[in-house]
Amino acid sequence: MEVIIQPTEEAAVKLTARIMADQLRARPDMVFGLATGATMEAVYAELARMCREEALDFSNAKSFNLDEYIGLPAEDKNSYRYYMDHHLFNNINIKKSNTHLPNGMTDDIPGEGPRYEAAIKAAGGIDLQLLGIGQDGHIGFNEPLSSLSSRTRDKSLTPVTYRQNSIYFNPPESMPRRAFTMGVGTILDAKRIVMLVTGKRKADIVAKAIEGPITSMISATAIQMHPHVVVILDEAAAANLKEQEYYRWTFANEPCWDRYR
C-alpha cells in the first residue's frame, strides 16, 4: 500500500483524476470500478474536463459501479445510475452500453449478484477500482461483519448508513433499507485500487483502515491485503496517521511518482 498526502482536497482530487486518466491513456479499453459520493463528484468533474479539453478518450472504456439501491428505478434522482449519468457518463464520450450498475429493479434479487459477477468476468475483470470510505469504514455497502471474501450480493444497510444517506431522500424515510453491493472479495480482485478520502471527519476511520488490524468490522481494512493500492488523502483526512513522515518521504522519493509531484 502507498499513502499519498496532498495539501488540499482539490489537490487530492486532481491527483486521483490524473492517475485514472493516465491509466486510460495507457490502456484505452480500461475497465474501471467506480464509486459514488460527494468527493467523487469532483473527480468526475475533473475527468469530464479532461475529456472536453484534453481529448481524454473513454470511447473504448467500460465501467462497473460498486453498488445500487434495491427498489429504485434508474430515473430516480437518488439512484446511483442517475448519479453516474449526471456526474460522469453524460459528460464524457463513453458508450452507455459499456457502463454497468446492479439492477435495482430486478425481479431476481438472489440472482443479481451472480449475474453482475459474470458480467465483470466477461469484461476481463476490473483494472482500476476507485474507492471512498464510509464513516464506519465500509467500502461499497459492505457493512460491518461483511466477509472479507464476499462477492456481489444484496445487503441490508446498517442504521448508521441509513441515517447518513436518508438526508438525500425526500422524504428521508423513502430511502431503501437494502442495496446491491460488490463484495469485499470482488473489490480485491481488481488489478489496482485507488482510494480517495478527504475531510477531518474521516481521519479516525482512515487511520484504522490503513494502520489498524484487518477486521471484518471495518471492511476497508481489507485493502491492506491488496498488492497494488494507492490511498490519496488531504491533510485533514491524514491527521491521525502515525506514519505520516514515512508516507511523505515515499511520495517525495519514489521514481514512479516523479510526474505527479
Residues acting as catalytic residues = 67, 136, 138, 143
DSSP 33: E
Closest CA to 33 of 88, 81, 92, 100: 100
Backbone φ, ψ for residue 26 (5° rounding): -75, -30
Q: What is the Cα–Cα distance from 189 to 219, expressed in whole angstroms?
A: 15
Q: What is the Cα–Cα distance from 61 to 242, expressed in whole angstroms?
A: 38
| Residue 99, helix vs strand vs coil | strand
Residue type, 10: E
Cell 464509486 locates to 35
| Residue 217, helix vs strand vs coil | coil
